[in-house]
Amino acid sequence: MQQKIALKDQNLESRIYSARTVTAIVIVLALLGVVLGRYYSLQIEQYETYRTQSERNRVQLQPLPPKRGLIYDRNGVLLADNRPSFLLSIVRERVADLDATLAELQSLLEISEQDLKRFNKKLARSRPYEAVPLRFRLNEEERATLAVNRHRLPGVVVDAQLLRHYPHGELFSHALGYVGRINEREAQVLDETDYRGTFHVGKVGVEKYYEDVLHGTVGYQNVESNAHGRVLRVLERFSPEPGANLTLHLDYAVQKAARDALGDQRGAVVAIDPHTGGVLALVSTPGFDTNLFVNGISTADYSALRDSLDVPLFNRAVQGSYPPGSTVKPFMGMAGLESGLMTPQSTVPDPGWYKLPGASRLYRDWILRIRGTGHAPQVDLKMAIAESCDVYFYDLARRLTIDRMHDYMAEYGFGDRTGVDTTNERRGVMPSTQWKRSAMGQPWYPGETISAGIGQGYWLATPMQLAAATSVVALRGERRAPRLLKAINGEEQQAPLLKPVEGTPEHWDAIFDGMREVVHGERGTADYLSQGIAYEMAGKTGTAQVINIPQGEVYNEEEVAERHRHHGLFIAFAPLDAPSIAVAIIVENGGGSSAAAPIARAVIDTWLQGETVARVPG
């Protein structure tokens, strides 16, 4: 039987094809609708959001830190400089895996735990797309290593910056201070905008006191970069304003002469130009290398400075409070004259000791141990200053009383800050009955007045206070606040005038005569300074006890531990007829004024020699 052959159903196939075509078109249109919807969402609804993100990836606003102002001495010697250096930074937003990147960097160069800790703290408070420093002071080999591996380190940036450098290291450590990295506490106080891109700030001394002047104003630039963060071009730039350059009154030669004269001794030297108030020298020994602090001092170096018995970080010139000893006798003499309690010719009997009326205790004169008696049967003001007669000033102190002493000495600035333009200055102590009652809750005793009369007991002064007070005497009462700053960008700055110390010419003459006799008199306590001297100097020696000496016992320096020996002090001004420099020196545990007086001669010689050279034409 013949089979039937099935014929093709054209209509059915046509319907199937049409259905499939319609289905495909619907699917395509649906997908196209999704694409168009998404396109609408991205380009219309979220346009601003994605445009901003795109621009942020392509265009960055970079801060341009200002150049820190330079610091010079009065003769143009550079004291604080800026030197180029390279630092390694990371832009967090351009790093896919920060931990992996840090591990990679540690395999390429040395990165300490301290570096990482500092980086993480800075990263936590950084802005988006801000380069956060990881390592400072990259050397040439490290920069080359990073350049070779740059393709593997997206988001890692090597930038050049200027770092503070102190070419004279320790010599000006306490006068200038130093800059250091901004810490968390400072970051909260400083203007975040003005310090963008800046990693250092003044920490102490002139660097901190004049931070606002030295820092300058931050600038910025808009740059276009590629996906790897490499800058392609600068779109616009607003240059930073550099910090102002400072010229100080400090004189390099005088500063060096003071430092060399102190040598290995602990102490301080302050020299002031009385006419301007300019601080010509500010030395505290021992000092330290300020460059150690610029990029973060190591733990070992800081521990050595912190734990040293000589406390090199302590600025003795403005922070050290010492009994001024007999250096106060010229000021005491002027107080006695101006109060009307005596005249230059008034005399006091001097058996070598003094006794309060109705009391049995003997207050000995230092000369008693040497001569077995006093300076002379009768002592006047000139002899009392020249030979440092304690008995004379014991009697004057008793008659003045401690409260009148306080009021007279306050006129010279004792018991208060001088206002010198540096940090951490102390007030010292000028005692009074009210002071002791407030500080100790105790009454004042007459014997304490006797001790204060020769600069002992509760009376404490800083070398800066002594130098400032000496400059007041040098100018016969004219008083200026001491100043380190001489000029800003070449524009002279005047030290403020303070209330003068009133005194009659005859009284000032009497003080000058006594202080001249200290150096140039046959029995002056510093007569050895006059050997070979080419000018006249007015001075006053001083010795300050470190430990109490019981009544009736004798101080023997050879039997006393070195750090228990007396401090040596000396104040002076010169030339006598036209003073241009006033100095105050303390040598801790120097044994007496003989350790301090030669330092004054070295400083004044250097200053006056420089003045002479400056006056010679050509």
DSSP for 9-24, written as a single string: -HHHHHHHHHHHHHHH
pLDDT band at 88 (very low <50, low <70, confident <90, very high): confident
Bridge partner list, 460 = 429
Which CATH superfamily hosts domain 60-248?
Penicillin-binding protein 2a (Domain 2) (3.90.1310.10)
Q: Is the pLDDT of residue 4 over 70?
A: no
Q: pLDDT, tens digit, for every residue of 237-255?
A: 788 899 999 999 999 999 9
Q: Identify the active-site residue in 85, 89, 173, 326.
A: 326
Do residues 420 and 481 lie in contact, with contact meaning Cβ atoms separated by under 8 Å? yes
> What confidence score (pLDDT) does residue 613 get?
47
The CATH 3.40.710.10 portion of the chain extends over 252-304+312-615
What 3-state class would DSSP assign to 299? Answer: helix
Q: Is the pLDDT of residue 447 over 50?
A: yes
| Interatomic CA distance for residues 80 and 280, integer angstroms | 17
Nearest-5° Cα angle at 569, 546 to 567? 20
Longest dimension (CA), the chain: 172
More confident residue, 153 or 320: 320
> What confidence score (pLDDT) does residue 434 get?
97
Nearest-5° Cα angle at 443, 437 to 448? 105
> Tokens standing for 274?
């009385």
Q: Which residue from 552, 501, 541 is spatially nearest to 518, judged by alpha carbons?
A: 541
Answer yes or no: 326 catalytic: yes
Q: Is the pLDDT of residue 336 over 90?
A: yes
Do residues 200 and 182 lie in contact, with contact meaning Cβ atoms separated by under 8 Å? yes
The mean predicted confidence, pLDDT, of the chain is: 89
Nearest-5° Cα angle at 460, 455 to 462? 110
Q: Mean pLDDT across the stretch 323-338?
A: 98
Pick the CATH number of 252-304+312-615 from 3.20.20.80, 3.40.710.10, 3.90.950.10, 3.20.190.10: 3.40.710.10
> What confidence score (pLDDT) does residue 112 get?
83
pLDDT band at 615 (very low <50, low <70, confident <90, very high): very low
**Strand 267-272 vs strand 353-354: parallel, antiparallel, or unpaired?**
unpaired
The CATH 3.90.1310.10 portion of the chain extends over 60-248
Is the bond into 330 cis (omega within 30 degrees of 0)?
Answer: no
Ramachandran angles phi, psi of 518, nearest 5°: -55, -40
pTM for this prediction: 0.83
In order of 97, 180, 578, the CA distances from 290 in angstroms are: 38, 10, 37
> What confidence score (pLDDT) does residue 94 get?
80
> What confidence score (pLDDT) does residue 399 get?
97
Do residues 159 and 87 lie in contact, with contact meaning Cβ atoms separated by under 8 Å? yes
> What confidence score (pLDDT) does residue 132 get?
83
What 3-state class would DSSP assign to 80? Answer: strand
Q: Mean pLDDT across the stretch 453-475?
A: 97
Please say whether the dihedral angle defined by the alpha carbons of residues 584, 590, 593 and 599, taken in this order, is positive or negative.
negative
> Tokens standing for 81?
């400089």
> What confidence score (pLDDT) does residue 231 get?
61
Q: pLDDT, tens digit, for every residue of 251-282?
A: 999 999 999 999 999 999 999 999 999 999 99
Q: Residue 375 carries which DSSP code?
A: S
